[in-house]
Structure 1
Amino acid sequence: MRLILLGPPGAGKGTQAHRLVARHGIVQLSTGDMLRAAVAAGTPIGQKAKAVMEAGDLVSDDIVIGIIAERLDHDDARKGFILDGFPRTVAQAEALDAMLAEKGLKLDAVIELVVDQTALVDRIMKRAEETRARGEPVRKDDDPEVFKHRLDAYNRDTAVVAPYYKARGQLQQIDGMMPIDDVTAAISEVLETV
């Protein structure tokens, strides 16, 4: 089972990915984690990424695709994977399609968690207030201003990926505002048809 989970920050992708990993025995592939692992392992593509990162530049799509391609060759990814945080642009989606085709693989599902962004911001603000009320530090991602900035970046750069997959007939949309267990059940229904 090869999946992509799409949706804005705070939509519940991480929660649902963890549940899918536990239920289906597949791996969650986070591009950030894969980049750090490739750099630490000193692989050829990891060395390229390290040089770019040390120069303070953004890692190119070619390097990210190379790292994903490398990671898909590991035994634990043969049963399937969930891509989390990738693709972020249409160019990355096209490069991913080409790389998977080269490997004789295809995506089984692209699932978008559709959420009311105003309610999402309210939810994050409430969570931050509750955390402060308990005397605990607020996670950087839960800071309302940081969250709004991440949401703006998503809307500007990444929201275009869902229409790309929709045009290809691969997108399945699920109401991400439902209770967590209901979202999980809806994802399971989608996956039963693939």
Structure 2
Amino acid sequence: MSSNLDELPQTQQNDNEDLEVKDAQVIFTNVWTELEEELGHENLRFGKELILLGGAPGAGKGTNTEFIAKARGLTCPPIVVSDLLDSPEARAIKESGGMVGDTDVINLLFRKMLHEEFRDGCIIDGFPRTRVQVECLKLLVQKMNLLYREYHQTPLAINFRKPTIHAVVLFVDERTSIDRQLERGRKIAAENEKILSEGGTEDMLLEQRPTDIDPAAAKHRYRVFKEQTWDALQSLKEIYHYHFIDAQGDIAEVERNILKELKYQSSLELDPETYDAVRHLPLAQDLSIHARQELVRRMDGYQLEHAGMFHSVIRLINDRFMPIIMRHAIPGMAQINSEDPIFEDPLALAMVIDIFAERGYRAVANVNRTEVPRTVNLQTGEIVCETKRIYRFTVQFQASEIRRGTS
């Protein structure tokens, strides 16, 4: 197949695209059927959030992966597709600047994604790289949505949440890509020389690709990316959340670009029913990205597993808490006391804290117990008291800025 579809007649382009779709359907069906037979239908539990990290050679995928994970609140390691493909045959193809076959990629990747540590989400470095892989991704997301609908009203619902897909593309031009590949090669060579000079053995040496020491090979690797992978990544633009990140600058500049692109938006990430339940509450400025992953999981869990209590707590916040909070908009802190019996269940207290956190507030709850006289024995003078629980909530948020006039 030509590497530049724009140069092909339209009928030939359509034929190629039809073949790619058919190939993807065959590959996906075979892999999915094998997984279902081996693991069981209800154990095909993929992560809620998939971050597809792509980019030109030297764009800094490895350098920026940890930062992207922190920005999205992911604690699991990334899935690096090139590391999954570690057979001698695959290694020879990679060292020449080529790519391993789609069937191997899909089979190994799907199995890895099913590991428990990726249940909340993961970064997938180096996928998709071909149009066939894009089609397999579409089929996977379709299956994930089907599983979500199938289990939505069941006790297993928390394991099959509605998926969120982000395509993150780090881009550098050809000259920058080649320079960075060769610079990496020089650093690896220097480090290996140091290892040997200090008595290290050959098995301790860092791996060095031919593309890191040969300008022609580095250029060929970039051309393979532009001709085979770039179009595949671009095709995701109209389907999923797409983030094009300029990675030409220094690390600090690239990190700023990443934060700007991957800013948390609850409307895109919560289950639709969960978001509809809380969207009418006033939204404070940016929810802290720290612990975002756990917060989203708890919120979806409330909606899926404790919907009655969840909506009762939301109504209580809206009707009783928010009027008090709004009266304290200038200082940015309000205290609310409640004797509502719903808070006898500790889960309701936890819901209050998490609902406020999702909206951008910081809330703390305390339970105060006081003894209230109920009856008095007139003969003995004995006073019988009843323990009364008062639930005190402290809610903090961004205070109003008051512009003071000058005399």
Report the TM range for the smaller structure's normalisation: 0.7 to 0.9
Instruction: Kindly state the Cα deviation for residue 142 of structure 1 after the two structures are TM-superposed.
Output: 1.8
1:147 to 218, 239, 243: 218
How far apart, CA to CA, are the structure 2 residues paired with 1:61 and 1:81?
Answer: 20
Conservation of the 8 A alpha-carbon contact between 2:178 and 2:219: yes
Tell me, what secondary structure is at the counterpart of 2:262? helix
Q: Which has the higher contact order (CA 8 A, sep 6+)?
A: 1
Aligned to 2:130: 89
Tell me, what secondary structure is at the counterpart of 1:167? coil
Superposition map of 1:20-169 within 5 A: 20-21=68-69, 24-36=74-86, 60-104=101-145, 106-125=163-182, 128=185, 136=193, 139-140=208-209, 141-143=211-213, 144-168=215-239
Letter in 2 for 1:25: T
Aligned to 2:243: 172
Is residue 188 of structure 1 aligned with residue 259 of structure 2?
Answer: yes
How far apart, CA to CA, are the structure 2 residues paired with 1:90 and 1:17?
Answer: 24
Summarize deviations over 1:111-139 as a string: whole Å, max 9, x none.
Answer: 11121222332344455567768994993
How far apart, CA to CA, are the structure 2 residues paired with 1:126 and 1:142?
Answer: 8
Letter in 2 for 1:83: I
Aligned-pair RMSD on alpha carbons? 3.2
Compare CA radii of gyration and give the structure with the larger one.
2
TM-score scaled by length of structure 1: 0.74
Instruction: Kindly state the Cα deviation for residue 181 of structure 1 after the two structures are TM-superposed.
Output: 2.3
Aligned to 2:51: 3
Tell me, what secondary structure is at the counterpart of 1:121? helix
Conservation of the 8 A alpha-carbon contact between 1:65 and 1:99: no
Tell me, what secondary structure is at the counterpart of 2:237? helix
Tell me, what secondary structure is at the counterpart of 1:6? strand
When structure 1 is superposed on structure 2, of 138-147 and 7-16 the one drifting more is 138-147
Question: What stretches of structure 2 of length at least 5 have no aligned partner?
Answer: 1-48, 94-98, 146-161, 195-206, 266-407
Identity over the aligned pairs, expressed in percent? 28
Which structure dedicates a bigger proportion of its chain to helix? 1
Tell me, what secondary structure is at the counterpart of 1:171? strand
